[in-house]
Structure 1
Amino acid sequence: MTRSLLTIDLAALRRNVERLREAAGSAEVWAVVKADGYGHGALDCARAALAAGARGLCVATVGEGAALRDAFREPRILVMGPLAHGDVERALGAGLEVVAVDPVLPPGVPVHVKVDTGMGRFGMSPEEALALPGDRVVGIMSHLATADEDDEGFVREQLERFRTVADAFPGAVRHVANSAATLRFPDARFEAVRCGIAVYGLSPFPGRRPSDDGLEPVLSWRSHVAVEKTLSADESTGYGRRFVAERKTRIGLVPVGYGDGFRRGLTGTEVSVDGERRRVLGTVSMDSFAVELGDARAGAPVALIGDGILAEEHASRLGTINYEVVCGIRCGPERTKRRVVDG
């Protein structure tokens, strides 16, 4: 029995891409597979996304793009991050497209001009973009800061700034929508949308479940109860005695901890033990955590994510976003087995 098992469901991913294509209308869907496909596996997820009709792939680095090009000869692959020394030559050799974040355009490669319309990160000002020669530019892009928030005002401001620049580059592919904007703002879709988190069946909206937008989680993470113990009243489990039993209490020890990406702050979150929701008790250790056991016994299956337990729930407990939860799972043969299924 493995310590823990990460399962990636490619059929669910394809359905998510189909849902996003439906939302995008005439715009192409470009799947964002940076950071090893948000922890899901870039190559497997890229292949499934393309099979479901995605027309392009987006990554953060030339290294990520080159690895994808080795596997996929045809699709557009866009490197969205800043370029390091030697990256232009490598991008050219791999047939990648790159993003220009300042007015000095990289030579010899297809360039997408990134305009900072209000995100305050990478990107040139609208004035700098408007001064560029149009013959080098194949795409115009920006990034929305608040597409997942209730107030639409700042999104509308960003879109207006973006249109002012994009109109000066006829023929260039315009793309600004992320997952949230694809699902929520029809006028943000233009010719292409860049979808990341929703491809993996995770909600781009705080406080919402994936199913609220027709999405299915692609990743599940399971382990088991390795040891069962009974605490008497006033006995504790874990560092710092953060859980002290008030009465006779059965607990199970699960061989997953923050060394695997199950964060220390997840005390009090719920997992599924033998199909029943149970609380995580005490301090999460590097290699294990304790959980309420109820009537379950040693060997009982434990779902950390899956079987109704959502990454969004753990993110809420941690005060973070679901992106960080799934990207933080460590998947390697030394600790966690990974398997890919298709339905």
Structure 2
Amino acid sequence: MHRSEITINLGALRRNVRTLLRALDGARLWAVVKADAYGHGAVDVAGAALGAGASALCVATIPEGLALRHEYRTERIIVLGPAGSNREVAQARDAGLELAISDSEVPEGVRVHLKLDTGMGRYGLSELPSPANEVVGLMTHLATADSDAVFARKQIERFRVATEQYSHLARHVANSAAVLRLPESHFDAARCGVAMYGLSPFNTDPAEDNLEPVLSWHTSLAQVKLLQPGQSTGYGRQFIAQAPTWIGIVPVGYGDGFRRDLTGAEIRVAGEPRRVVGTVSMDSFAVELDRELPVGAPVVIIGHGVLAEAHARVAGTINYELTCGVKTDALRARRTVVDG
């Protein structure tokens, strides 16, 4: 019996893709499936996204692209990160991958996208050279589409001015936040990641943008016990009962991707909200109960009203850092793919 179950709902993902395509109003959607599709499973997600209308796949590294090429023989796969070694570039050429190039060296025989740094301050060219024959696209990366629209619009305008004479090439700027809030960023295509997974790029309730979370995470109580006043649970005695207190032990911990800084987060036990108390261990954590519940009572860690965004606020991070960290190794959890 597995300690927890992660469910990936490809039906929800398809609906999210169609929601984003409506927002794009004619621009193409390129599905970002790097980091194993933000922890959702790149192969499954890629197929669902393409079937729902995405026209390309985006990854971070050439090895990620090569792994997808084994499953998707003809679809466009664009590597957004640095090109890597000469050996990897040769492998990319043979596999028909497209590469994002952030310097003046454009490899021969590979379709490339020149990346202009308009304000992110990371990878990217300071000035856009005259595109060589291998160049099929021009791109930049927005730093604040989710938080500072004024600066994002300055980046968009810099990009527009720098690239307007090359409008015959595919121009792509928008991430998920820009797709939903900055229509002037849409150009020819958008690289959509977080919103495709039903996660809010603004770390708010995704339903506000008609998005459905794709990943849910369930388990059950492994033990239930009554703490007397002065008794504690977990390392360091971070939770000490002030009165007789029922607690439930959940057989999931930071070794599974439920982080130590999620103490205080709210999950659902037997359908009711319950607070995580004490120190999160590698393999378990405790929740405070209002009464005795049976061992085996269902626990929802993410999904069905428990938002990754709420957990992220407790942990001081972003929703997709959390989903990227959820372990789907069969030795720790069971991963189920549904189409609901």
Compute the TM-score of the two structures, normalised by the length of structure 1: 0.97
| 1:291 pairs with one of 287, 291, 298 | 287
Paired residues of 1:273 and 1:301 also in contact (CA < 8 A):
yes
Hey, what does 2:252 align to over in structure 1?
256
Is the aligned partner of 1:328 residue 2:317? Answer: no
Q: Which runs of 5+ in 1 are unaligned?
A: none
Hey, what does 1:102 align to over in structure 2?
103
Q: Distance in 1 between matches of 2:70 and 2:162?
A: 34
| 2:297 pairs with one of 297, 300, 324 | 300
Hey, what does 2:151 align to over in structure 1?
154
The alpha-carbon deviation at position 331 of structure 1 amounts to 1.2
Higher alpha-carbon deviation: 236-245 or 294-303? 294-303
Q: Distance in 2 between matches of 1:183 and 1:167?
A: 23
Higher alpha-carbon deviation: 6-15 or 99-108? 99-108
SS state of the match for residue 275, structure 2? strand
Hey, what does 1:267 align to over in structure 2?
263
The alpha-carbon deviation at position 132 of structure 1 amounts to 3.0
SS state of the match for residue 71, structure 1? coil
Paired residues of 1:223 and 1:301 also in contact (CA < 8 A):
yes
SS state of the match for residue 211, structure 2? coil
Figure out how many residues of one structure are paired with residues of the other and give that number: 338
Is the aligned partner of 1:195 residue 2:192? Answer: yes
Q: Distance in 1 between matches of 2:131 and 2:169?
A: 12
Is the aligned partner of 1:224 residue 2:225? Answer: no
Q: Distance in 2 between matches of 1:290 and 1:216?
A: 28
SS state of the match for residue 271, structure 1? strand
The alpha-carbon deviation at position 73 of structure 1 amounts to 2.1
Q: Distance in 2 between matches of 1:257 and 1:30?
A: 34
1:125-161 superposed Cα distances (whole Å, 9 cap, x missing partner)? 1x2x1x3344331000001011001x42111110111
Is the aligned partner of 1:211 residue 2:207? Answer: yes
Q: Distance in 2 between matches of 1:193 and 1:15?
A: 17
Q: Which runs of 5+ in 2 are unaligned?
A: none
Q: Distance in 1 between matches of 2:301 and 2:69?
A: 34
Hey, what does 1:12 align to over in structure 2?
12
Matches for 1:1-343 after TM superposition, within 5 Å: 1-85=1-85, 86-125=87-126, 127=127, 129=128, 131-149=129-147, 151-206=148-203, 208-295=204-291, 296-343=293-340
1:12-60 superposed Cα distances (whole Å, 9 cap, x missing partner)? 0000000000001110000000000000000000000001000010000
Q: Distance in 1 between matches of 2:263 and 2:202?
A: 24
Compute the TM-score of the two structures, normalised by the length of structure 2: 0.98
Task: Give the CA RMSD over aligned residues.
Answer: 1.0
Q: Distance in 2 between matches of 1:4 and 1:170?
A: 50
The alpha-carbon deviation at position 169 of structure 1 amounts to 2.0
Identity %: 58
Paired residues of 1:258 and 1:285 also in contact (CA < 8 A):
yes
The alpha-carbon deviation at position 167 of structure 1 amounts to 1.5
Once superposed, which parts of structure 1, at least 4 consecutive aligned residues long, lie more than 6 Å away?
A: none
Q: Distance in 1 between matches of 2:259 and 2:220?
A: 17
SS state of the match for residue 171, structure 2? strand
SS state of the match for residue 112, structure 1? strand
Q: Distance in 1 between matches of 2:277 and 2:198?
A: 28
1:59-107 superposed Cα distances (whole Å, 9 cap, x missing partner)? 0011111111111122211000101211211111111110111011122
Q: Distance in 2 between matches of 1:334 and 1:136?
A: 45
Cα 1:142–1:158, aligned 2, differ >3 Å: closer, same or farther? same
Counterpart of 2:111, as a letter, is P
Q: Distance in 2 between matches of 1:234 and 1:162?
A: 62
Paired residues of 1:82 and 1:101 also in contact (CA < 8 A):
yes
